[in-house]
Amino acid sequence: MSNQSRQLFGTDGIRGVAGAFPLTAESTYLIGRALGHDLLRGTPKAKAVMGQDTRESSGWIADRVAAGLAAVGVEVHSAGVITTPGVAYLARSRGMAAGVVISASHNPWTDNGIKVFSGDGFKLSDARELAIEKEIFALLDRPGAADDTALRIAGPSLPGEAALRKAYIEALTGSVTSDLSGLRVLLDCANGAATAEAPELFRGLRVQATFMHVKPDGKNINDACGALHPETLGKTVAESGGRFDLGVTFDGDADRALFCDGDGRVVNGDGVLLLTARDLKSQGKLAGDTVVATTMSNMGVEIALKKSGIRMLRANVGDKYVLEEMLKTGATLGGEQSGHVIFRDSDATTGDGLLTALRVMDVVVRSGKSLAELVGDLKVLPQKIQNVRVREKVPFAQVPEIRRAIEAAERELDGNGRVVVRYSGTEALARVMVEAESEEKMRALTAGIAGEIQKALGV
């Protein structure tokens, strides 16, 4: 089932501006009802666990969705503010029919979203999302489907069940075998979901942890901080005078993490894949000596992995598609440049920023090498990503000017670089990515393609 078939669900659940369709008081309640019906079809007496990030709107959206679930007979448990992978873990470890997350991840605070995991901790299939969508639209067409009485049903309010959050923290703690107490780490929690678990987790493991952006106010999530702005973390570490061995920065719902070394140089998901792949291979734990990355991963990481005898496969962008390829090929490691990394040897079913941070720290401790040394041979080809806001997502092949610009760029690169042009799965954006051997060529080709998209489809 392609993304075009679905109107509400994108690559990462339903997302939009909080208060506007499909995230109004009425529609979020009906989404809960439709989801509830779907769960009850497969599991009579279904239970669901809910979690949310720190956005101003997350509380009322969680309450509306929970009211919709409860209205059709689903028992809802709230974990309160918790990371997205925390909800996925609880869904599968607590015998739940689903895990529901209210978050818009890296988007601005004015946006929000509804992300659903099935009882096995995996994101819903495209076909299942489409079936739920059909019911949502059917309910919207039915007068009184969300009457005032229904909308007043109380959802599971904050702070949620502390025992659920604790169970997730304990599972992460139990996955660590090394002594991390010697590490000095700066952690940027993006004023998001990680603020609820990271301090207890890292202090419990006796990491010499310093935290920044851990005071959410409903509007400061991702604001000049977190994985969207890794330079903020890098600058602080660089100016600390050698105070930190490394830095870690999470996005709003902490399903991804980026890093910086002791000098403040950013290490993205490509670097994480490289160092964890080599480590797993050395232990005989890298299934098929294969790593799954995406079309956005730099050619430099592919070359470095190849030197270590590791094959890199590319999936479409979105950790959902990385996971699909991993399950298909049996790969134990996969991820995205943006910091979503999936460790199937830890039985993770989605990217988990906290787990990724622990795994990187573990490799640093066991190898006796700094983060800079572990990625020292990664030669990154100059890469530029340019976003163009679009009116509509017309397939690029159907617009001759855009198609010709892409083909011309590929001819000019002649195998010594890459062009990837795609639409964002969560926003009305076209993303143009060019890798080339020189900065000059990279910028010129990116600007050429982006210009044609702007002329033909731009806002």
- Residues belonging to the active site: 105
Structure tokens belonging to residue 331: 């790969």
Structure tokens belonging to residue 71: 């209205």
Nearest alpha-carbon partner for 148 in 207, 64, 231? 64
Cα(322)–Cα(324) distance, integer angstroms = 5
- Any idea how long the chain is? 459
Nearest alpha-carbon partner for 383 in 347, 417, 332? 417
What does the H/E/C string look like for 293-333? EECCCCHHHHHHHHHCCCEEEEECCCHHHHHHHHHHHCCCE
Cα(161)–Cα(94) distance, integer angstroms = 13
Supply φ then ψ for residue 81, to 5 degrees. -80, 120
Q: Which amino acid is at 21?
A: F
Cα(3)–Cα(11) distance, integer angstroms = 7
Cα(255)–Cα(89) distance, integer angstroms = 12
Cα(237)–Cα(233) distance, integer angstroms = 6
